[in-house]
Amino acid sequence: MTSPRVEIDLGKIQENARCLVRRLAARGISVTGVTKAVCGHPDVAMAMLDGGVVGLADARVSNVIRMRAAGIACSISMIRAPLVNEKNDVILSCDASYNTEIDTILKLGAAAKDQGAVHDIILMVEMGDLREGIMAENLNEFASRVVATQGVAFKGIAANFACLGNVAPTPGDMAMLSRLADQVESECGPCVALVSGGGSANLAWALGKGATGRINNLRLGEAILLGIDPVSGQPINGLHTDAFALFAEVIEARPKPSSISMRPSVPKQGQLELVSDGGQGNRAVLAIGEQDTNASGLCLPSGFGLIGATSDHTVVDTAHITLPVGSEMKMGLSYSALMRAMSAPDVAKSVHGKQSLKGIALDREPHRVLTLV
Ligand SMILES: *Cc1c(COP(=O)(O)O)cnc(C)c1O
């Protein structure tokens, strides 16, 4: 097997998706599977769909095109506001996009009209994460303009939490989003079909006991892929946290001083020499680095510790064990480590459990992205 590589257990991803879909359905909330951390890997997308997510979402149109090319025909949304330059690809490959700028929406509408399509628009509202979002006081005006724009259909509103800031949504925030949905409808009529309350950071609220109001969707990436609540960093009950594993090869292994410092060789004479602090540790140098993953987001085997990483090397303290050169170390990944590994060309991706997927999402007919071009 080539290394470095990410091994992906599709069965665990499917089970995580299924568990979240079931628990949220009981609360009247549908799940959109977010594929950006796996760069739209089609097998992972299929596992999410097999687990019952109602659609997919990604932040990059290149990832959506990859999924369409693999025959995935379900509804796919762009959760990052489209770039003006990619509007034609967005219309061609995505059913909907999350937006915050009226100029972009007008251009999407024009492109959709040209293509004889209607593109759904979801307006992202600023609710404290301070990344993207329309100010609440401008939402009605935005919504009326979308409703009046040809080529696009107003589909709903959404909020985002704990992306830029680490602020988890409160029940008050969610009540406010519900009120905003009502407020938009008081102006534009019953047009807010989707009220998407956020991502994995919102699960604690969504799975709680409070009223869900008009919130009827969450966009989940990290919870499905890693089984982790991004706010607390803790595993979510009942989910697999080991659907992904990273393997890297040991290219050097030997004991090294745990630290080296300068000190006088003969006390009081002031001559300096390099001395070790007395501690010796077994070290392994792995053939993987910051270009391939986020080393500080790796979960090393128990008892091992990360010494540091550069672009192409990662140094690990292997405690009392000397690993054979040429052997592989298996590691867990944080969301950011996973995201970088999945996008790194030198990291192989190896999927397991593909045969057990039902393949419900595969289009028998090629998607229009393939027929129109
Ligand atoms: C990344 C992202 C999500 C998914 O977030 P997770 O924490 O992975 O669940 C949802 N919505 C938007 C807008 C995002 O950028």
Residue 161's pLDDT is what? 84
Ligand 1 centre to CA of 132 (Å) is 12
The model carries a pTM of 0.92
What confidence tens digit (pLDDT) does each residue in 227-259 have? 999 999 999 999 999 999 999 999 999 998 876
User: C-alpha dihedral over 205, 226, 217, 20, to 10 degrees?
Assistant: -80
Sorted by sequence, the CB contacts under 8 Å of residue 137 that are 6+ apart come out as none
* Structure-token pair, residue 105: 């929406």
What confidence tens digit (pLDDT) does each residue in 271-320 have? 666 666 667 789 999 999 999 999 999 999 999 999 999 999 999 999 99
Ligand 1 centre to CA of 56 (Å) is 11
Residue 205, H or E segment:
helix 203-206
Counting from 1 in the atom list of ligand 1, the atom nearest the Cα of 219 is 10
Ligand 1 centre to CA of 78 (Å) is 11
Rounded Cα–Cα distance for residues 198 and 347 (Å): 30
DSSP 8-state symbol, 201: G
Counting from 1 in the atom list of ligand 1, the atom nearest the Cα of 98 is 13
Our mutation pick for probing the ligand 1 site, out of 80, 160, 194, counting the most ligand atoms within 8 A of Cβ, is 160
Which residue minimizes the CA distance to atom 13 of ligand 1? 79
Give the pocket of ligand 1 (CB within 6 Å). Answer: 34, 36, 59, 79, 160, 163, 199-201, 219-223, 230
Rounded Cα–Cα distance for residues 301 and 330 (Å): 7
Contact 247, 287 (CB under 8 A): no
Our mutation pick for probing the ligand 1 site, out of 219, 229, 336, counting the most ligand atoms within 8 A of Cβ, is 219
What residue ranges define each of the domains in the chain, with the CATH number in brackets? 9-234+354-361 (3.20.20.10), 244-352 (no CATH)
Q: Which of 39, 81, 33, 23 is nearest to 57 (CA)?
A: 33
How would you write the pLDDT of the chain (373 residues) with one tens digit per residue? Answer: 899 999 999 999 999 999 999 999 999 999 999 999 999 999 999 999 999 999 999 999 999 999 999 999 999 999 999 999 999 999 999 999 999 999 999 999 999 999 999 999 999 999 877 788 898 999 999 999 999 999 999 999 999 987 777 778 899 999 999 999 999 999 998 999 999 999 999 999 999 999 999 999 999 999 999 999 999 999 999 999 999 999 999 999 999 887 666 666 666 666 666 666 667 789 999 999 999 999 999 999 999 999 999 999 999 999 999 999 999 999 999 999 999 999 999 999 999 998 777 765 565 454 554 433 3
C-alpha distances out from residue 217 to 101, 203, 214, Å: 22, 11, 9
